[in-house]
Amino acid sequence: MPELPEVETVRRGLAPVMEGAIIARAEVNRPDLRWPFPRDMGARLARQTVLGLRRRSKYILADLASDETLLIHLGMSGRMLVSGDPLGVFAHDHPAPEKHDHVVLHMDNGARITFNDPRRFGAMDLMPTSEAATHPLLARLGPEPLGNQFNEEYLVTALKGRTMPVKSALLDQRIVAGLGNIYVCEALFRAGISPRRRVNRIAARRIALLVPIVRDVLRDAIAAGGSSLRDFRQADGELGYFQHRFDVYDREGLACRAPGCTAKVARIVQSGRSSFFCPQCQR
């Protein structure tokens, strides 16, 4: 599933052709994805100006002139692809329709935004913009890891007294929004902390150091266009490249990349998810 860097990469790719433009027509080619689409979604999107695109956790939010906001979740295999861009950023002509093109937004500037999702685990919803923060998918999310509310004091306080493994704590969307398995593994490696270590067994200063490390990992991934492991594509159809820079994720049995380390990357399963780490560097 795309994590924060992949979703932010898609948002940035969509912004040049969607922000300030009008949705001339919206094709809705099926009644649902993971959940049913909202009532009359196509009609409610048509002729609406997109005031801005923002991201909350792993969701893209398109604020419309109608005072509604379109929520987009890519799910496991969803892609938002741009074609026919009049700004010249995207060199793709409009492709022939494909089987899994479930929602197509025809912009008045000539661009076309296609939401293609073979597995149909993605989602779209419409809500009043003023109530977006209380939407069931957004209401309980923690602070954004790249925002000011995610700081050293906050994380130390949020994790104080918890007995869960640190990997599980960082994946808890109520503690910090948008982090997923890939980037938590990478951040813990850079911090030298084992994913198995209980939070209450980690000194507060080491927890505090996780804040800038998490931010650096996310920024590095965004700069590389995210990570393409299976289905992820940027809005122009290109792959992300951060997977070529993984230190531990998906590198089980390979040599640790830390200078002077002779260990190999190990893999364990925690709460049904694979954790990759260096048993020598991470304690």
Q: Which of 55, 58, 79, 233 is catalytic?
A: 58
Kindly give, in sequence order, each residue whose CB lies less than 8 Å from that of residue 11, ignoring residues fewer than 6 positions away.
53, 54, 55, 60
For this structure, is 167 an active site residue? no
Q: Among positive and negative, which fits the CA dihedral 160, 161, 162, 167?
A: positive
DSSP code of residue 129: G
Distance of alpha carbon 77 from alpha carbon 98, whole angstroms: 15
Pairs from 115-119 (Cβ < 8 Å, separation ≥ 24): 115/72, 115/78, 115/79, 115/80, 116/78, 116/79, 116/81, 117/33, 117/74, 117/75, 117/77, 117/78, 117/79, 118/77, 118/231, 119/75, 119/76, 119/77
In this structure, the dihedral spanned by the alpha carbons of residues 30, 34, 36 and 40, taken in order and rounded to 10 degrees, is: -60
Q: Which of 12, 197, 273, 279 is catalytic?
A: 273
For this structure, is 3 an active site residue? yes
For this structure, is 58 an active site residue? yes
Catalytic residue numbers, as ranges? 2-3, 58, 273
